[in-house]
Structure 1
Amino acid sequence: MDIRDLWAESMAGMLARPIRSALTTLGTVLGITTLVVTMGIAATAGNQIVGRFDELLATSITVEVPQSSRQALVSWEAVAELRRLRGVLSATALAQSDKSSNLVVTANNLLDPTQVAGQTLAVVAATPNLQATTHGRLLAGRFYDAGHIIRRDRVVVLGEQAAAMLGITRLDHAPAVFINDRAYTVIGIIGGLQREQILAGAVLVPPTIGPDFGLKNVTRVLVGTQLGAAELIARQAALALSPNHAGELQVIAPPGPKRARDGAQDDVNGLFLILGLVSLIVGAVGIANVTLVTIMERVAEIGLRRALGATRRNIAAQFLLESSLIGLTGGVIGASLGTVAVVTVAAVRHWTPVLDIRLALAAPAAGALVGLLAGLYPALRAARMEPVDALR
């Protein structure tokens, strides 16, 4: 049987019942569309996640300083040496202890039995550039500076949650808080601490008055770096902070962006790939079912072809080609719809669409393969029909 005749007969068989063929194609369309959308959204979302990862975490390094009974491993002035490293944008030294994590802080020293006397808050000593390192924003007032430190001013800055708990919203009358029965003037309220949410519920004090609460030595150093510099700075930070005790410091650096991107894509792929495969299976079952029904309706046609000299191979090839054409059509439509869906989602979310062109080109071939496998049993069943039984 000439290949052109086989193609013409297969096309005629598929188009003889266009509505049924369209409904049969729909299963493959859904499966291929789901697969293309899954891969495209995974790549696009992974790229977006890495971008946000870079903004928040890939530029942040934390150095944990263990406490030694002999001496301070990192001095408050060592942070200035760290900022001399190329790629370091800001660095902040912090001091916090178990004792300073649960101190009673009150907004006034009046004893009112009908109200809660105070709040249990953490007191943290920090260098003045905390706002830049943590990407925080001042909601009111200002942050203490070098002048406050030199003069040993008893001033504090409240995290936004701590200020809300104490009922302090305005600073125009220089409110004070009382810690250990001593008054400290509130000069600022800071919020938006994306990298250090724990500080939102803390009272921040200058290092010079940190000893009032047992905060003499640095316990942690936060470092903000330029994009791409975190890995290098992580190797140099301990040596810059404490050359004689670099091995005792623990540097916590973010994982690489590629690792985050691959992880995001794997998570999204694993979530939606099953859905795409299930849709393809449903489409394949639909093609097999409709092809089998079509064969039952065309028994007389099959018998007549066999009586006129068509071989079993010719009959099998005709129905295999019909089912493959249905799958191919579904693959082309599904790939097109999936590509449009990925671009649309990216445009709505203001993302950059990322789609592997090889996936879009391979989708029609995958649809044709699904159709071929789905039509295998019906085609073999049609080929096994005897002409006499079919005509009868």
Structure 2
Amino acid sequence: MTRSTVDGPRPVRLSVVDMFGLGMLGLSTRKMRAALSALGISLGIATMVVVTGIPASSQQALLEELTALGTNTLRAQPMPGQDKPVELPEASAGMVERIGPVTAVAQVANTHARVRRSDRLDASYGSDLTVLASSTGLLETVNGGVQSGQFLTESTQAFPVVVLGYVAASRLGVDRVLPGGAGPAVFVGDRWFSVVGVLSPMPLAPEIERSVLVGWDVARSELKFDGHPTVISLKAREEAVEDVRAVLPATLYSEIPGLIQVSRPSDALAAKRATQNSFAALFLGLAGVALLVGGVGVANTMVISVLERRREIGLRRALGATRGQIRGQFLTEAVLLSGLGGLAGTALGVLGTVGYATSQGWPPVIPLTALTGGVLAAVVVGVVAGLYPSIRAARLTPTQALSAQ
């Protein structure tokens, strides 16, 4: 549009609000075409969200399974076969806790006591079970669980109570511990200990499955335990597991660190890292393909729109609309079309991802980049896809546009 002045006609400058209104007018007057075009971009964005969200949910489920395999755990103990066994310091757990990346520490020690189902059995009876003094944080460190009853606590570790490993419970004839009732008892050393818990199977810690666990304090007072741990278990941040392993021997036995044996990081850690890298590349590839498909759809829609609306363009040019205003109108339509499609596609993709992940028993995970990037990517695609059609529309002269058949 133009405005007459004493110096001649001068084009009217359209505000952002006016340009937005023109873009919305183009969409509202062709509702069905706009809906179908927005559906194309929304399917593209929904595909992007789904193809990133579903693998991310699957990846999270896999990573949780790998983490349960102990990818961030280490075990330290004196090197076996020494003429004079190394004794770990009594303060070993506190020393290890001071290592920065360490997040949890637990310790156990062999009390060399014997456990029997009854005091009627001979004292030399061997059940092939180990009586271990244990710190209260053991289960958290070794990813263990309680099948029935409870584990040792700060309030019970000084009392004559035991927790049985899964195999130990089977051999001692204890299948469960009922809450609130008088629990079974086993004979440890030369006195009875009440059973307060039975552990779940722990294939990653078979020595715990075959053990009878007693509190650290009661082991000192009743089983003549000297307080020196024999195995230190710890958890550390995964990215620093190797560094912690390197300093652990010197931390526990600075005199001769070579006499301390430390387990290697689990092979599952390498598998977990490889999984993360593979899925990251997969996400980028799938998202790129989905965006490309959506962009082609918007570009095609806008080119056809320019061809069908040449008369409208010619009429607006004849009434004084500038090339910039024509460009802005069609570019605004493309961006609005893509933005609306992006919002709808993101919502659709989230619903699809959550529904599928839930049906598979996976934790629903939708990358933040997919949520925010869905709409932003749709707008960028709209700009790129609408650039050529808007320039093409602006180049039409009023004569060319009005003479189109």
Give the structure-1-normalised TM-score: 0.56
Is 1:22 the equivalent of 2:35? Answer: yes
The 3 A distance-change label for structure 1 pair 8 and 233 is closer
- Residue 376 of structure 2 corresponds to residue 365 of structure 1: yes
| Partner secondary structure for residue 291 of structure 2 | helix
Deviation at 1:319, TM superposition (A): 0.8
Aligned 1:110-149 pairs, distance under 5 A: 129=132, 135=144, 137-138=166-167, 140-142=170-172
Equivalent pair of 1:134/1:194 in contact (CA under 8 Å): no
Match of 1:287 among 298, 307, 330: 298
Write the distance in 2 (CA, Å) between the matches of 1:371 and 1:324. 4
* Letter in structure 2 aligned against 1:224: S
1:10 paired residue number: 23
Q: Secondary structure at the match of 1:372?
A: helix
User: Deviation per CA, 1:69-118, whole angstroms, max 9, x where unpaired?
Assistant: xx44755x75988578666434479xxxxxxxxxxxxxxxxxxxxxxxxx
Following TM superposition, by how much is the alpha carbon of 1:291 offset from its aligned partner in structure 2, in angstroms?
Answer: 0.9
Distance in 2 separating the partners of 1:78 and 1:331: 61
Q: Map residues 26-37 of structure 1 onto 2, 5 A cutoff.
A: 26-36=39-49
The residue aligned with 1:251 is 262
Aligned mate of 1:57, from 67, 70, 82: 70
Aligned residue number for residue 155 of structure 2: none
Whole-angstrom distance in 2 between the partners of 1:262 and 1:18 = 49
Maintained 8 Å contact 1:27/1:280: no
In the alignment, the residues of structure 2 paired with residue 228 and residue 239 of structure 1 have an alpha-carbon distance, to the nearest angstrom, of 19
State the distance in 2 between where 1:56 and 1:353 align. Answer: 21
**Displacement of 1:29 after TM fit?**
2.0
The match for 2:324 is: 313
- Could you tell me how far apart the structure 1 residues matched to 2:94 and 2:400 are? 92
Is 1:336 matched up with 2:357?
no
How many positions carry a matched residue from both structures? 296
Q: Give the residue type in structure 2 aligned to 1:6.
A: M
Asked if the contact 1:134–1:196 (Cα under 8 Å) also holds between the matched residues in 2, the reply is: no
Deviations 1:14-33 (A, max 9, x none): 23332332232234323433
Question: Take 1:148 and 1:340, find their aligned partners in 2: how far apart are those partners?
Answer: 57
What does residue range 1-392 of structure 1 map to in structure 2 within 5 Å? 2-3=14-15, 4-36=17-49, 56-57=69-70, 60-63=73-76, 71-72=82-83, 74=85, 88-91=105-108, 129=132, 135=144, 137-138=166-167, 140-142=170-172, 192-195=201-204, 223-225=232-234, 238-239=249-250, 244-247=255-258, 249-252=260-263, 254=265, 267-340=278-351, 349=361, 351=363, 356=368, 360-361=371-372, 363-392=374-403
Give the alignment's TM-score, normalised by structure 2: 0.54
Q: Distance in 2 between matches of 1:306 and 1:88?
A: 77
Contact 1:26-1:283 at 8 Å conserved across structures = no
SS at 1:268 equivalent: helix
Quick check: 2:66–2:272 contact (8 Å CA) kept in 1? Answer: no
- Specify the code of the residue in structure 2 equivalent to 1:30: L
Q: Aligned partners of 1:352, 1:222: CA distance in 2, in Å?
A: 38
How far apart are 1:293 and its partner, in Å? 1.0
Distance 1:92 1:271 in 2: 47
Q: In the aligned structure 2, how far is the partner of 1:282 from the partner of 1:137?
A: 55
Q: Give the distance between the partners of 1:251 and 1:333, measured in 2 at CA.
A: 54
Residues 48 and 370, structure 2, Cα contact 8 Å, conserved in 1: no
**1:42, 1:269 within 8 Å by CA — same for their partners in 2?**
no
Gaps of 5+ in 1: 94-124, 150-189, 206-220
Over 3 Å counting, the alpha-carbon distance change for 1:193 and 1:363 in structure 2 is: same
Q: What letter is aligned with 2:381?
A: V
Take 2:234 and 2:78, find their aligned partners in 1: how far apart are those partners? Answer: 19
CA distance in 2, matches of 1:306, 1:192: 80
Q: CA deviation at 1:318?
A: 1.0
Q: Tell me how far 1:287 sits from its aligned partner.
A: 0.6
CA distance in 1, matches of 2:246, 2:340: 56
Question: Post-superposition shift, 1:359?
Answer: 6.6
- Residues of 2 paired with 1:142 and 1:60: CA distance? 30
Relative to structure 1, the CA distance from residue 126 to residue 238 in structure 2 (aligned partners, 3 Å threshold; closer, same or farther) is farther
74 and 318 in structure 1: CA distance in 2 versus 1, 3 angstrom threshold: farther
Q: Alpha-carbon deviation of 1:368?
A: 1.6
The answer to whether the 8 Å contact 1:32/1:363 transfers is: yes
The code of the aligned residue for 2:295 comes to A
Q: Any idea what the Cα deviations from partners look like across 1:29-59, whole Å, max 9, x if unmatched? A: 2343355556767877777777666654266
Whether contact under 8 Å (1:42, 1:265) holds in the other structure is: no
1:183-223 deviations in whole A, cap 9, x for unaligned? xxxxxxx99443268x9xxxx99xxxxxxxxxxxxxxx864
SS at match of 1:61: strand
The 1-side partners of 2:366 and 2:109 are apart by: 38
Instruction: Give SS of 1:224's match.
Output: strand
